Amino acid sequence: MWSIIKARWRQGYRTAPYPARPPALPDRFRGRPELTAGAPAAAFVPAAAACPTGAFTASAGAPPALDLGLCLFCGACAAACPAAVNFTSEHRLAARHPENLRLTPGCKPPRAAPAENSLRRLFGRSLRLRQVCAGGCGACEADSNVLGVPTFDMGRFGIQFVASPRHADGLLVTGPVPENMRLALRKTYDAVPEPKVVIAVGACAIGGGPYRDHPEVHNGAAAVIPVDLFIPGCPPHPYTILDGLLRFLGRIP
């Protein structure tokens, strides 16, 4: 027993100071991409051709745009067109509406707006979520589950995962929602008592990811149930998920 206490004492306080201080992110972290303002439209065409999911659209006669909801953050667009596209270290990516995930040259999308006052009064200090893996590869699930470890400790904000939808205030959905998960997702949503929230995490849950438009895939959670918060990434960094949750609850501006 004393050896355990001594070891814990030596370890000290392990929880990161986020959101009081900016997070410490690795040098190779790929955050929000930026499209260079003033670059000719034709300069973005190679980037659009390199995009594996169609997230990047560009042609010689139309303004370029990048849909963060479909982006895999693979970096292929920046490699094909380094003068016109670059990835920043900005981790704050969540949005309340899909249209706010659309980037254009020189555009910086708004931060995710908080939930309605009625929801914030109910869930602002205590939010219980049931995580649903709707055909995900495990990456978004892992980066969601790690929020419970001491480094991130989302429990200090009153946010926790629960084992049953009947004990939950909402769902956190990952994966592209294949046909064999459609009914299960709908039944899980129906089992959550009203009022409830739904959070789509990752490119697959937002738009189908690399499986988009496959005949057995529903291109994300919004095709089956209403979604209140979109958190892009492939997978999104744990800080990206935590930031989105806290903004949705009105805990940070």
Is residue 133 domain-resident? Answer: yes
pLDDT-above-70 percentage for the chain: 99
What integer pLDDT is reported at residue 126 of this predicted model?
95
Is residue 7 domain-resident? Answer: no
Is residue 96 domain-resident? Answer: no
Residues with Cβ < 8 Å from 42, sequence gap 6 or more?
60
Is residue 186 domain-resident? Answer: yes
What's the number of domains the chain is made of? Answer: 1
CATH number at residue 222: 3.40.50.12280
Is residue 190 domain-resident? Answer: yes
Question: Is the pLDDT score of 117 beyond 70?
Answer: yes
Confidence grade of residue 191 (pLDDT, cut at 50, 70, 90) = very high
CA dihedral sign of residues 35, 40, 45, 47: negative
What integer pLDDT is reported at residue 181 of this predicted model?
96
Confidence grade of residue 187 (pLDDT, cut at 50, 70, 90) = very high
pLDDT digits (tens, 9 = 90+) for 94-111: 999 999 999 999 888 888
Is residue 35 domain-resident? Answer: no
CA atoms within 13 A on the CB side of 168: 22
What integer pLDDT is reported at residue 106 of this predicted model?
83
Q: Give the C-alpha separation, 48 to 199, whole Å.
A: 28
State pTM to two decimals: 0.93
* 1-5, 15-19, 88-92, 180-184: least confident range: 1-5
Pairing label, strands 85-87, 62-67: unpaired
Is residue 33 domain-resident? Answer: no
What integer pLDDT is reported at residue 194 of this predicted model?
95
Instruction: State the residue range of the domain holding 234.
Output: 117-248
Q: For the purposes of burial, counting CB atoms within 10 Å of the CB of 38, is it exposed (0-12), middle (13-18) or buried (19 or more)?
A: exposed
What integer pLDDT is reported at residue 60 of this predicted model?
65
Confidence grade of residue 206 (pLDDT, cut at 50, 70, 90) = very high
Question: Is the pLDDT score of 12 beyond 80?
Answer: no
Is residue 4 domain-resident? Answer: no
Angle at 64 between CA 62 and CA 65, to 5 degrees: 130
Q: Is the preceding peptide bond at 19 cis, omega within 30 degrees of 0?
A: yes
